[in-house]
Amino acid sequence: MRDLRKKILLESGKTVSRKARSRPDSLGASPNNSPTPSRGASRVTSRYASEEEDLSDSEYEDSLTNSVANSEEGDEPTVLTSWSDRLGDRIAELLDRKRSSAKGRETCLSAYTHIIRHHYAEEQLEPQLKELVPALLKSIRGGSNADEMLSAIKALAMTTLSTESDSLYDHVYPSLKSLCQDSGEESLKVEAIEAMSIVTMCGGGSVTAAEELLDFLVEIVESDGHSIEAGDNGPVVAAALKAWGFVASNLDDLQGQSDQALEAFTEQLDSTDVNVQVSAGTNIAMIFEAAREDEDETEEPWDLQYDQHKLVQRMTALVRESSKAVSKKDRKHLHASFNSVLTSLEHGKGPGYSTARRMASNPHTGGNKTDFNEEYREYGYREKIRIHNISMIVDTWSLSARVEMLRSVLGAGLAIHYLDNPVVKDLLSSAQVEFVSTPKKGGRGDEHLSPPRKNRGGKAGKGANF
């Protein structure tokens, strides 16, 4: 098959596509050194999955054609290297800093992160973790510029998710917190907050460590970012809210954390930043969800201190927000989010639940409404994630918070890590899934639900007292 492709490509005269040339981990040689002007430096672009999709056949053919063209000019055709070999090269570069430059390290860190985002690499990372983590921390603590430090934080978060090490927290958390507090760069603060939550929950942090992080994040929200020298900074406050939701979603008992957090989140409903408002609203919904679940299990209600009338009134206003100061896209996001939150509070449901009704059976396929006793059914949960033949139903706010964080860190690599990575699989283990068969021609695939599972602290049932 490859010989046939080679023959066809020789006749076509194609060249490497611009998209293939721009890939971050297509490093033919170390980025730390200047390129050699010899013909031997010309090498085929590495093959790997992009941020959004796997390499297409045409892009593979482009890469192969380039290799054949080099051979015609006198070079030996380069064999396409495996992703694990490329990862090994990137790790070797990260560990050898003597002849590296800031730009070279940044490029290498980006390539390293890209590879382990699109491949589950625990087997390749584990043997070198003791040397690799200190190398990443060097770039975080003393990077030559913000770009290198930013790339190192992302690499550290991905490394944490890719391994099952329970000793990372003690080594890296202090550096991340110091950077979050001391850096003057908004982007570094945002990434540090995200990485702190990942390291705490997936890198060996204790329950006490998680609760301390929640307190730290609430301080950021309460102070509008002033507690970490980021006053009135929307992205930083939104990052703190998102991280709070992710950490809180993994704790069994939120009662001690709820009153102060609920007050801080309610105040942020008046923020001028839509992302801050939405994140505050979803966290409020998560707190009430945790209260419902705990009450179902213990039969003891939480004594939440909040102004019920003010909360409902403000959320209702956000559902109807029509200010021209808010873009059309943001207004749509705001309306949909707070419709979902209000439905959750009023009916005791999770995110994205639709109370709109439809007939339980379709009279157009035979019979009439009388035959079906005019039975109606609510549309129910509409938020789902499709991974191959698996459709995951997002039916709790705690699950939604985890999905949101994993999407942020893993991007298009979420599917691969869900299937192969036990850390990610465990984070999403509470999800109810549908297994959807491949549709036959002219028909629809068969579906069936996974067995019911227990949510954190019990099942959501009763709504809040609204």
Average pLDDT over residues 394-401: 95
Q: Is the pLDDT of residue 265 over 50?
A: yes
Answer for the pair 74, 39: CB distance below 8 angstroms, yes or no.
yes
Answer for the pair 46, 85: CB distance below 8 angstroms, yes or no.
no
> Crossing angle of helices 186-202/207-222, nearest 10°?
160
SS3 447: strand
* Amino acid 440: pLDDT: 53
* Amino acid 163: pLDDT: 94
Please state the domain extents for the chain.
Answer: 1-33+42-128, 129-344
Q: Is the pLDDT of residue 77 over 90?
A: no
Nearest to 269 by CA among 279, 259, 255: 279
CATH number belonging to domain 129-344: 1.25.10
Q: Is the pLDDT of residue 24 over 80?
A: no
Average pLDDT over residues 309-319: 90
Average pLDDT over residues 430-444: 70
Q: Is the pLDDT of residue 65 over 60?
A: no
pTM, to two decimals = 0.78
Range of lowest pLDDT (4-8, 121-125, 209-213, 286-290): 4-8
User: CA-to-CA distance for 83 and 49, rounded, in angstroms?
Assistant: 10
Q: Is the pLDDT of residue 376 over 70?
A: no
Answer for the pair 77, 119: CB distance below 8 angstroms, yes or no.
no
SS3 330: helix
Q: Is the pLDDT of residue 29 over 80?
A: no
Please give the mean pLDDT across all residues of the chain. 80
- 440's CB contacts (< 8 A; 6+ apart) are none
* Amino acid 237: pLDDT: 98
Q: Work out the pLDDT band at 307, boundaries 50, 70, 90.
A: confident
Task: Give whichever of 66-75, 377-386, 403-412 has the largest mean pLDDT.
Answer: 403-412
Q: Bigger pLDDT: 97 or 373? A: 97
Using CB atoms within 10 Å of the CB of residue 242, give its burial: 0 to 12 exposed, 13 to 18 middle, 19+ buried: buried
* Amino acid 400: pLDDT: 96
Residues 164, 166, 172, 177, Cα dihedral to 10°: 100
pLDDT tens digits for range 289-299: 999 999 999 99
DSSP 363-400: GGGSS-TTTTTT-EEEEEE--EEEETTEEEE--SHHHH
* Amino acid 42: pLDDT: 36
Q: Work out the pLDDT band at 438, boundaries 50, 70, 90.
A: low
User: CA-to-CA distance for 405 and 395, rounded, in angstroms?
Assistant: 16
